[in-house]
Amino acid sequence: MTPLQAAPLPCLDSGNDCLRTLTEAAIERSPELQTLDERIALIERRLQLAGQRIDQANARQWTGYLTTDPIAILQNLFGGGQVQQQRMAITDLEIRAADLEAAKAELERQRAAKRSQLGEQVLMLVIGYETAGDRERAILAQLSHHDLLTRITEIDYRLGGSSTETYLTRIAQREQLEIQWNRYRLERETAKRQLLSLTGFSHPPYQGGPGGSKPLGKLLGNELE
């Protein structure tokens, strides 16, 4: 793990800078990309070696003509001599180099596709995190307003102004809002955990509130008694 990835999550928003930072971390951490990079590097070394051999073969090719043997001269002119053999060897090396270039191009295509996939994953997780957070905050606002109405209903109920059915309906509505709040909180925290796993950053302590894990009653500040 690199020093960058050992650090706490540096940001978590859909701004371009943050998305770039998270995507770069995901790319750096990806085992698949590491394997592709290693395979591409290996092919590049083989291509370099093939190029050197082709250059050497080209340089040796002309030495085949530097002979006083009349039979060798005729073979070089009409086929079957050292020059033709060297040309065939060069052609074979060039074919192998072309195959290596094709393999390298395919690996580079796979690498680009994987990078793009990681970028999309980061984007979708960040958007999911922000969307769940927005919905969670909206539910908190509804709960706060609902709790105020419930207190009024409770007081009215105790004074005989509201029916039991009305009061119980308020309680049931609050339970449904709590279920929704917990669902969005779970969605947000799941998206964050997946981002941490994807990028390798560490998980900072919860601070409470949307993005934290403080109990719902404390978030609202006015639990029903």
Q: Estimate the crossing angle of helix 31-61 against helix 82-158, to 10 degrees.
A: 170
Radius of gyration of the chain (CA): 35
Please give the pLDDT value at position 92.
83
Q: Answer whether residue 44 is part of any domain.
A: yes
Q: Answer whether residue 131 is part of any domain.
A: yes
Q: Answer whether residue 145 is part of any domain.
A: yes
Q: Answer whether residue 224 is part of any domain.
A: no
Q: Answer whether residue 191 is part of any domain.
A: yes
Q: Answer whether residue 104 is part of any domain.
A: yes
Q: What is the pLDDT of residues 180-191, one digit of tens each?
A: 999 999 999 999
Q: What is the pLDDT of residues 209-220, one digit of tens each?
A: 444 455 565 555
Q: Answer whether residue 167 is part of any domain.
A: yes
The candidate with the shortest Cα–Cα distance to 117, out of 23, 42, 10, 54, is: 23
Please give the pLDDT value at position 59.
73
Report yes or no: 114 and 30 within 8 Å, Cβ to Cβ: yes
With the C-alpha atoms ordered 132, 136, 142, 143, is the resulting torsion angle positive or negative? positive
Q: Estimate the crossing angle of helix 16-29 against helix 164-199, to 10 degrees.
A: 60
| Beta carbons within 8 Å of 142's beta carbon, 6+ residues apart | 177
Please give the pLDDT value at position 85.
64
The range of the structural domain enclosing residue 119 comes to: 3-219
Query: In the chain, helix, strand, coil percent, each to 5?
Result: 80, 0, 20
Number of domains the chain contains? 1
Please give the pLDDT value at position 3.
42
Q: Answer whether residue 147 is part of any domain.
A: yes
Residues of the chain with pLDDT under 70: 1-6, 60-85, 204-225
